[in-house]
Amino acid sequence: MPPPIPATLIPGDGIGPEIMDATLAALEALGAPLRWDMQAAGLQGVKEAGDPLPPKTLDSIRRTRLALKGPLETPSGGGYRSSNVRLREEFNLYANLRPARTLIPGGRFDNIDLVVVRENLEGLYIGHEHYIPIGDDPHAVAMATGVNTRQGSRRVLEFAFEHAIATGRKKVTIVHKANIMKALTGIFLETGQQLYERKYKGRFTLDTVIIDACAMKLVLNPWQFDVLVTTNLFGDILSDLVAGLVGGLGMTPGANIGIDAAIFEAVHGSAPDIAGTGVANPTALLLAAAMMLDHCRLPEMSARLRTAIGDTLNVDKVRTGDVGGHSGTAEFTRALVTRIVNA
């Protein structure tokens, strides 16, 4: 038996606890050697500790440097700042890896196999914003500051390029808007092109595309892309678009990789509209757990998990409603665990 790997577990808000139970059942059936330290964050953190990111949770991740996280609710407009953004900043999680692969054939798009690498710490997404009052309107003008640095751009581009080589990808596309935001996204494009010329030329093809054209091309012919690397806000939007190509948010995992830790999660949010109804699709979080097993150098276990997910969906045809099935979370989980145990 390999020694247990300490890891932080954050069930999260909304559907979080439901899909986390499913994921833990699968990991247990696999015999994954993970020793969990359960912690709260988001709305649950506020309820338990009066803080959306309690110090105890941060201490746990500081210790384990590894976490599996359910979605965390962030109030829109006012309220507290996103715990997800704070976690990324706290642990320097600069690269957000979001693979999208067709798992259920016969959909609108077949055989999709794409990776979006999103810069996770800079850009317009950092939320450095303020209002300027004019007369009696306190919100007369809204302003946001975007910051991209050479060093921040280089490290995520390097991550994307290395990932492409390590996983045998043939093409990397830098997505930008340097025709309009010449400085803010120009620095990202320029850094990527220079890095490619200096260090990576010939090891894969480098392409560049403007974000709006990229969105159209992804819908018309997604197969022309392989790895997409882009700044924070564009990556946020594109990864949901790409999720739509493979059956929706219930099917896409994400890894936040950084200097001080790695945090694995589903791309989707807490889905308050279906929370507590037992219909949530746990596949995205299960696939995030598979990425975590890869990160822990347990590739045989992650392969077993991915095969069992595929067989549950396509051989047993047990599927949740969001991907055209009639099963609830519990029934899907039972079928998946049976697949894992009998493999």
Given the residues 69, 94, 177, 196, the one annotated as active site: 177
Residue 258 binds ligand NAI (CB under 6 A)? no
Tell me the C-alpha distance between 321 and 279, whole Å. Answer: 7
Residue 99 binds ligand NAI (CB under 6 A)? no
Please give the structure tokens belonging to residue 83.
């715990």
Q: Which C-beta is closer to ligand NAI: that of 69 or that of 176?
A: 69
Q: Which C-beta is closer to ligand NAI: that of 74 or that of 185?
A: 74
Tell me the C-alpha distance between 286 and 271, whole Å. Answer: 17
Least Å from the CB of residue 83 to ligand NAI: 8
> H or E stretch including 243?
helix 232-245
Given the residues 125, 200, 311, 322, the one annotated as active site: 125
The verdict on whether 236 is a catalytic residue reads yes
List, in sequence order, every residue forming a beta bridge with 176; answer none if it has no partner.
Answer: 210
Rg (CA), the chain: 20
- Exposed, middle or buried, 186 (CB in 10 Å: 0-12/13-18/19+)? middle
Write down how long the chain is.
343
Residue 187 binds ligand NAI (CB under 6 A)? no
Please give the structure tokens belonging to residue 139.
């919100």
Select from 227, 269, 337, 340 the one that contacts ligand NAI (CB under 6 A): 269
Residue 268 binds ligand NAI (CB under 6 A)? yes
* Segment 21 to 80, residues that bind ligand NAI, using CB under 6 A: 71-74
Q: Which stretch binds ligand NAI (CB under 6 A): 28-36, 191-199, 268-276, 311-319?
A: 268-276
Residue number of the CB closest to ligand NAI reads 269
Please give the structure tokens belonging to residue 134.
């004019």
Residue 164 binds ligand NAI (CB under 6 A)? no
Least Å from the CB of residue 325 to ligand NAI: 11
- Exposed, middle or buried, 334 (CB in 10 Å: 0-12/13-18/19+)? middle
The verdict on whether 212 is a catalytic residue reads yes
The verdict on whether 207 is a catalytic residue reads no
Least Å from the CB of residue 317 to ligand NAI: 17
Q: Which stretch binds ligand NAI (CB under 6 A): 203-211, 277-285, 303-311, 333-341?
A: 277-285
Question: Where are any strands of DSSP class E within the chain?
Answer: 5-10, 34-38, 66-69, 95-101, 113-119, 123-134, 137-147, 171-176, 205-210, 227-230, 253-257, 262-266
Tell me the C-alpha distance between 84 and 62, whole Å. Answer: 15
Tell me the C-alpha distance between 310 and 302, whole Å. Answer: 12
Active site residues: 125, 177, 212, 236
| Residues lying near ligand NAI in the complex (CB under 6 A) | 15, 19, 71-74, 84, 249-250, 265, 268-274, 280-281, 284, 322
